[in-house]
């Protein structure tokens, strides 16, 4: 199964780090796992997973398969997702550029800079469709969609992408799979110990790589 071979191994690649939070340290809790370190690693790996999905798709060409770095206005920029979508048999094509983000609820200065960066890269990459892609949301909530749309940026959820990319799984299968991986994720966060079945399944999947 595609998700067994390509999504499950993520949980074996994430390496939890011990907390460096002074709040935890002052409570004599230096043994706690830094949850943000797991979130960041998950974000990097899920981005890679979706680039693999794009590469494996029959109707898209991954334009960053060899390198995800581009020079824009004299600066090296990292590109999350950049692909050419074949729309029909007449070879009509559409270029997409997306930034992968799991949490867009915060309106920080970093997010504002990222918004400007997207608009800049759209021109450089000659993208016809662009915006943020949230790989952990099926359908983008209206309030979040409108918030970014007012800034000239579109936010796409998994359902949006699966409507255009020929992926070997459905949205329901994708999100159900994460629920199956719940023990593994909670184990990484130090919340509970994954059962032996989950650990064995992960090991078998990693052995296939």
Q: What is the pLDDT of residues 3-12, one digit of tens each?
A: 999 999 999 9
State the CB neighbour count (10 A cutoff) for residue 91: 7
Q: Which residues contact 189 (CB under 8 A, 6 or more apart)?
A: 16, 33, 35, 38
Range of the domain at 160: 73-166
pLDDT band at 201; cut points 50, 70, 90 = low
User: Do both 104 and 136 map to the same domain?
Assistant: yes
Please report the pLDDT score of residue 113 as a whole number.
Answer: 75
- The phi, psi pair for 101, rounded to 5°, reads -140, 135
Read off the pTM: 0.86
**153 located within any domain:** yes
| 24 or 46: which leads in pLDDT | 46
User: Do both 81 and 136 map to the same domain?
Assistant: yes
**66 located within any domain:** no
Please report the pLDDT score of residue 206 as a whole number.
Answer: 47
Q: Over range 126-135, report the average pLDDT.
A: 94
| 117 or 100: which leads in pLDDT | 100
User: Do both 42 and 127 map to the same domain?
Assistant: no
User: Do both 48 and 77 map to the same domain?
Assistant: no
pLDDT band at 202; cut points 50, 70, 90 = low
Number of domains in the chain: 2
User: Do both 42 and 81 map to the same domain?
Assistant: no
User: Do both 88 and 129 map to the same domain?
Assistant: yes
Query: In this predicted structure, which of 68-77, 92-101, 145-154 has the lowest mean pLDDT?
Result: 68-77
**152 located within any domain:** yes
**Percent of the chain at pLDDT exceeding 90:** 59
3-state secondary structure of 208: coil
User: Do both 86 and 142 map to the same domain?
Assistant: yes
**80 located within any domain:** yes
User: Do both 127 and 83 map to the same domain?
Assistant: yes
């Amino acid at each position: 199964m595609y998700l067994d071979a390509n999504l499950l191994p993520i949980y074996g690649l994430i390496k939890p780090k011990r907390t460096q939070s002074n709040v935890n340290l002052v409570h004599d809790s230096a043994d706690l796992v830094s949850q943000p370190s797991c979130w960041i690693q998950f974000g990097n790996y899920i981005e890679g997973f979706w680039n693999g999905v794009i590469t494996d798709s029959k109707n898209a060409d991954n334009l960053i398969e060899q390198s995800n770095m581009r020079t824009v206005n004299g600066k090296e920029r990292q590109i999350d997702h950049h692909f050419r979508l074949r729309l029909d048999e007449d070879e009509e094509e559409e270029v997409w550029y997306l930034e992968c983000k799991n949490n867009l609820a915060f309106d920080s200065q970093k997010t504002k800079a990222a918004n400007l960066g997207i608009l800049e890269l759209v021109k450089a990459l000659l993208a016809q469709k662009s915006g943020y892609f949230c790989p952990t949301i099926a359908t983008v909530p209206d309030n979040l969609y409108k918030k970014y749309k007012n800034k000239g940026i579109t936010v796409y959820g998994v359902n949006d992408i699966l409507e255009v990319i020929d992926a070997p799984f459905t949205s329901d299968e994708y999100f159900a799979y994460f629920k199956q991986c719940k023990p593994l994720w909670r184990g990484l966060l130090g919340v509970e110990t994954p059962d032996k079945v989950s650990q064995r399944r992960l090991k078998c999947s990693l052995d296939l790589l």
